[in-house]
């Protein structure tokens, strides 16, 4: 029964998302958990090459092409102090703050609210000369998952974004070429052992993040321009986004 389902939960999901009744749910659940496993694999194997580094931020890519289009998978690792994984994921997911940190987007619309933790976005991206302008349509799902390797029971938070289709918003009608994307942000919170009777402060918190992304440009774009955009935009995004979250959180109570 529905009640039993809610009690036992479904798979690795702690509670059952309201999105579980939706036609996209099997795909959302499967891709999110696949992305979680993929994010947690190291970069030691699989031919990852380091292409950008800044303090504790490290970005790796694998050069890949599909039908002559660059689709280089990216994997980035970073350590951010003073914020939790829940906070990181909250600001990455929330449409309310998207335009405050996202610099590749010209226009953002939530076209469907599947549940509080699951939305469908349509985004029009900034145009890069000489290529056509791009847009993207994707579901975005946020979830807390238990970390079985962590005795202290610190959970992992994930946001997964994955392209989808919607008959009301067909691709390539008009000026934009639709990109397809699979992106995930996986965050783990570490807390320094608190001293007796002393409350945990932001100085005791460290967040380890992994960001993975594969974007297919959806139509021809010059490989050299694309790789140059990639090399500039991903480090810019991760630095700007993490600084934004630190700044937003600093005077707020900790959201564990």
Residue 71 contacts ligand 18C per CB under 6 A: no
Cβ contact 151:21 at 8 Å: no
Which of the residues 178 through 217 are near ligand 18C (CB under 6 A)?
179, 181, 183, 215, 217
| Residue among 104, 164, 168, 170 at smallest CA distance from 138 | 164
CB nearer ligand 18C, residue 39 or residue 254: 39
**Quick one: which of 229, 231, 240, 244 contacts ligand 18C (CB under 6 A)?**
229
Q: Cβ of residue 151: shortest distance to ligand 18C, in angstroms?
A: 32
Residue 126 interacting with ligand 18C (CB under 6 A): yes
Task: State the Cα–Cα distance between residues 99 and 105, nearest whole angstrom.
Answer: 7
DSSP bridge pairs for 114: none
CA distances (Å), 29 to each of 22, 33, 35, 38, 215, in order? 11, 6, 10, 14, 20
Q: Calculate the alpha carbon distances from 122 to 13, 22, 164 in Å.
A: 26, 19, 10
Asked if 237 touches ligand 18C (CB under 6 A), the answer is yes
Is 205 or 226 the residue whose CB approaches ligand 18C more closely?
Answer: 226
* Spatial contact of 141 and 123, defined as CB atoms under 8 Å apart: no
| Cα of 94 vs its chain's centroid, Å | 11
Contact criterion met (CB below 8 Å) for 178 and 134? yes
Stretch that binds ligand 18C, among 46-54, 76-84, 219-227, 242-250 (CB under 6 A): 219-227
Residue with smaller CB distance to ligand 18C, 99 or 255:
99
Q: How far is the CB of 93 from ligand 18C (least distance, A)?
A: 9
Interface ranges with ligand 18C (CB under 6 A): 102, 104-105, 123, 125-126, 128, 131, 134, 136, 161, 179, 181, 183, 215, 217, 221, 225-226, 229-230, 233-234, 237
């Amino acid at each position: 029964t529905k009640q039993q389902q809610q009690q036992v939960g479904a798979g690795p999901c702690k509670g059952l998302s309201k999105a579980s009744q939706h036609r996209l749910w099997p795909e959302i659940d499967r891709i999110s958990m696949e992305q979680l496993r993929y994010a947690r694999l190291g970069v030691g194997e699989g031919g990852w090459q380091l292409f950008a580094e800044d303090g504790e931020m490290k970005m790796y890519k694998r050069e890949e092409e599909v039908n002559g289009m660059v689709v280089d998978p990216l994997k980035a690792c970073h350590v951010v102090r003073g914020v939790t994984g829940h906070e990181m994921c909250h600001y990455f997911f929330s449409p309310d703050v998207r335009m405050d940190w996202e610099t590749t987007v010209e226009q953002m619309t939530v076209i469907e609210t599947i549940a509080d933790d699951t939305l469908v976005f349509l985004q029009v991206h900034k145009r890069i000369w000489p290529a056509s302008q791009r847009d993207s349509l994707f579901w975005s799902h946020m979830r807390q998952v238990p970390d079985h390797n962590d005795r202290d029971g610190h959970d992992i938070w994930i946001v997964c974004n994955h392209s989808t289709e919607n008959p009301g918003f067909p691709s390539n009608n008009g000026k934009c070429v639709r990109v397809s994307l699979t992106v995930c942000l996986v965050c783990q919170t570490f807390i320094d052992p608190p001293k007796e009777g002393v409350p945990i402060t932001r100085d005791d918190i460290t967040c380890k993040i992994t960001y993975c992304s594969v974007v297919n440009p959806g139509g021809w774009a010059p490989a050299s321009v694309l790789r140059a955009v990639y090399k500039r935009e991903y480090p810019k995004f991760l630095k700007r986004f993490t600084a934004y979250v630190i700044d937003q959180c600093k005077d707020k109570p900790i959201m564990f």
